[in-house]
Structure 1
Amino acid sequence: MSNKIIIRLLITFLSLNLVFNHVAAQDLSLYQKQTFIKNNDTLNYRILFPENYDPEKKYPLVLFMHGAGERGNDNEKQLVHGSKLFLNDSIRKQYPAIVIFPQCPENSFWANVKFDFSDGKREFHFQSDGEPTRPLALVQGLVKDFTAKKKVDTKRIYVMGLSMGGMATFELLWRNPKTFAAAIPICGGANAETAKKYAKKTAIWIFHGAKDPVVPADFSRTMYKSLQDYGANVKYTEYPEVEHNSWDNAFVEPDLLSWLFSKSLK
């Protein structure tokens, strides 16, 4: 192959890459930048409205809780994982919904978890009571405020999240047991006793990687067992060879969103 052909191929590749990156950035810009302020505290969030949004119609609401790596104050990093799921043309047409991605500040945490770093190991101690963290309290306020002002189908409010956001997903369920029709916690965890507070209300699909070195899969296994014991409508998918990034597998599950949007509070 001549040098001229190689150069042409390289230029073509770079041009396509620039186009792809531009389209991706353009797509993410469909998530509008917003802020929610309560008691002088501010929560950044991004919101995606359905195509041809009709303010007189009621839409399902999806709340997506990001992981620890996406914390910050830029109102951008929280879109790294999961946001493109809802930008897919066929998904937007088949499941018109309002999608919200809040962002947790850099030095905060969504869930009320105590950490123990003794003996060089990180241990999680999930709380079953007490006040929510400030960012999670703001998220709860945002959902309540938004559903009061906008046309939301209150029987079809959903929550999903990964890692720190998976923990937040479980916590939002027990703190708001009559709010969410379905939930997708990915590589998260919670205090198993809290499952009884929402087991009969919310459909749950749990995901985890069996080889997760960051958040042990036992957390999800324990929650699955507890939810089963309390009679929940719960599914658990564990990926045998997957580590912490089990969301990559979960996001390509063919029935993920059809399962989610099929659920409604009774």
Structure 2
Amino acid sequence: MQRRHLMLSPLALPGLFSSACAVIDAPPVPSPTAGTQRAVALDVPGLAEPVRCWLYEPVGYSAGGRPWPLVVFLHGSGERGRELERVAVHGPPKHARAGRHYPFLLCSPQLDDNRRWQPAELHALLGVLRQRWHIDPQRVLGTGLSLGGAGVWDWATSYPDDLAAIAPVCGFADAQGACLARPVPVRAYHGDADTVVPVAAQQRAIDTLRACGGQAELIVYPGVGHDSWNPAYDDPALVPWLMAQRAPSPRSRP
């Protein structure tokens, strides 16, 4: 599909514990769920009910091994409710279910009906994920579509130290507050035929962020409507871009 851009280990041996032999620690045991996606419910401080999520662990993941990047995916308004199956109809959780392997942990939470993504709740959820999984605090990424695209924008402006980068798809943001996300690189996507969330709703935030010194790119798909998440999450450059992002120093913890 045509598009245009607007921006426009090695194993370390322990020391010898005797003169007779070297002792080598056993390698970490891989998680039995590595390479698969499963439903989890997480108790999050400040919330009355557990947060329902799809949780994907990459092949090779081990809680006792190296820390892994984390991507948090936020769904759109149509996937809200109590049926977690809805969350897996679009984007990364859909592809993970179909067998696509990702080089990161993936958490895809669900909102109840008539709710919007709240930055403080996402910040608290991240704290729980850090406690339960072995996550690199310098490589936490956010992405989402439509209402979820707005959610990652709001998260980045409210808690920029949480995120190494965001990739909002057909999202929208308050352009006046976009500069608060200046430390967070942005790779955004939109269809120029979107009548639900016009591309201008995201273009203004991108322009503002770039004007105040942020790193921001908007990829626009000609002739594509609101479902720009289909080409966006099939973009072969998206995952490498996400994996190349790293916060410049260890980020704050809850």
TM-score of Structure 1 vs Structure 2, range by shorter chain? 0.7 to 0.9
1:165-194 CA-partner distances (Å, limit 9, x unpaired): 000010010111111111100111111122
Kindly state the Cα deviation for residue 140 of structure 1 after the two structures are TM-superposed: 2.3
Q: Which moved more, 1:136-145 or 1:151-160?
A: 136-145
Residue 67 of structure 1, aligned match among 62, 73, 76? 76
Name the CA shift for 1:252/1:231 in 2 (closer, same or farther; >3 Å).
Answer: same
Alpha-carbon distance between aligned partners in 2 of 1:252 and 1:234, rounded to the nearest angstrom = 20
TM-score (norm 1): 0.74
CA separation in 2, counterparts of 1:86 and 1:211?
28
Secondary structure of the residue aligned to 1:35 is strand
Partner SS, residue 104 of structure 1: coil
TM-score, length basis structure 2: 0.77
Q: Provide structure 2 residue ranges, at least 5 long, that are not aligned to the other structure.
A: 1-34, 249-254
Within-5 A mapping of 1:236-247:
236-247=218-229
Query: Does the Cα contact within 8 Å between 1:43 and 1:138 map onto a contact in 2?
Result: no
Corresponding residue number in structure 2 for 1:184: 167
1:55 corresponding residue in structure 2: 63
Distance in 2 (CA, whole Å) between partners of 1:150 and 1:31 is 14
Q: Structure 1: which amino acid aligns with 2:130?
A: T
Larger RCO, structures 1/2 (Cα 8 Å, 6+ apart): 2
Q: Which runs of 5+ in 1 are unaligned?
A: 1-28, 111-131
**2:144 paired with 1:144:** no
* Structure 1 equivalent of residue 42 of structure 2: 36
What per-residue deviation string (whole Å, max 9, x for no partner) do you get for residues 28-71 of structure 1?
Answer: x9322111233423321110011232111200000000001111
Per-residue deviation, residues 223-248 of structure 1 (Å, max 9, x unmatched): 11011101111111111211100111
User: Over the residues paired in the alignment, what is the CA RMSD in angstroms?
Assistant: 2.0
- Which of 103, 107, 111 is residue 114 of structure 2 equivalent to? 107
Identity of aligned residues (%): 28
**SS of corresponding position for 2:84:** coil
Larger relative helix fraction: 1
Residue 231 of structure 2 corresponds to 249
Q: Distance in 1 between matches of 2:131 and 2:186?
A: 25
CA distance in 1, matches of 2:240, 2:98: 14
Q: Aligned residue for 2:155?
A: 172
Secondary structure of the 1:101 match is strand
Match of 1:254, SS state, is coil
User: Retained in 2: the 8 A contact 1:43–1:139?
Assistant: no
Shift of 1:88: 7.4
Residue 194 of structure 1 aligns to which amino acid in structure 2? G
User: Whole-Å Cα distance in 2 between the matches of residues 224 and 63 of structure 1?
Assistant: 21
Divergent runs of 4+, >3 A: 84-92
Q: Secondary structure at the match of 1:31?
A: strand
Secondary structure of the residue aligned to 1:258 is helix
What is the aligned length? 211
SS for the counterpart of 1:238 is strand
Mark the CA change 1:80 to 1:87 in structure 2 (over 3 Å): closer, same or farther.
closer
Structure 2: distance between partners of 1:153 and 1:86: 21
* 1:1-266 to 2 correspondences below 5 Å: 30-37=36-43, 38-39=45-46, 40-56=48-64, 57-82=66-91, 83-86=93-96, 91-92=101-102, 95=103, 97-110=104-117, 132=118, 136-199=119-182, 201-266=183-248
The amino acid that maps onto 1:41 is E
SS in 2 for 1:76: helix
